[in-house]
Amino acid sequence: MTIYDFKVMAQNGEEVSLSKYEGKVLLVVNTATKCGFTPQYDALESMYEELKDQGFEILDFPCNQFMHQAPGTDDEINTFCTLKFNTKFTRFKKIDVKGKNADPLYNWLITQNEKGKAQSIKWNFTKFLINRKGEVVDRFGPMDKPESFLDRVKEELKK
C-alpha cells in the first residue's frame, strides 16, 4: 500500500485521489491556525516555493483535535492561511488525525515506521515525508522547523 491508494476530501467537499501526486515528493502536514506552531506556515510556503518546480508538493490537512486550535470553517481556515501566510500549497478539508474518527490516510501514516506499530499524532504540525514511490521515508515532529529538514527533502527530490 502507498499514499496513492487513498482518497481525501478537497476543501469544496469533492473526493480527491492522492494518485494525482504520483511521482512527486510530498510533505503531509496536519495543521492548525491558532497554534504556537502556526508560524511554520511561513517556512513551509518558502520550502514549497523553492522546490515545487522539482516535483515537490505540500498537502495540508487542518485538524481541530488539539485544544481546538483549528476553529472555523474550511473556507475561513483557507482565507486565514492565504492572507496571513500567502500559502499556495494544497489545503484539504479539516479532518481528524487520531481516534475512532481518524481519516484512513492518517491511520496508515502513523503505522509507516520501521517497527510497523502505530505512533500516534501528538500535536499539530506533525510532518510526513513521502518519496516518489508513495512511501513514508521520514517523520518530523511539531518542533521540527521546516528549515531544519530542508536538506532531507532536497535529498529525496534527487532520487
Q: Please, what are the domains in the chain?
A: 3-12+22-157 (3.40.30.10)
Strand positions, DSSP E, 49-126: 56-62, 90-91
Instruction: Split the chain (159 residues) into runs of 10 and give each run's mean pLDDT.
Output: 97 95 98 95 98 98 95 93 95 96 96 85 97 97 97 97
- Up-side HSE of residue 12: CA atoms within 13 Å toward CB? 3
The whole-angstrom separation of Cα 52 and Cα 67 is 32
Catalytic residues: 35
> What is the pTM assigned to this prediction?
0.96
The whole-angstrom separation of Cα 135 and Cα 64 is 26
The whole-angstrom separation of Cα 80 and Cα 59 is 17
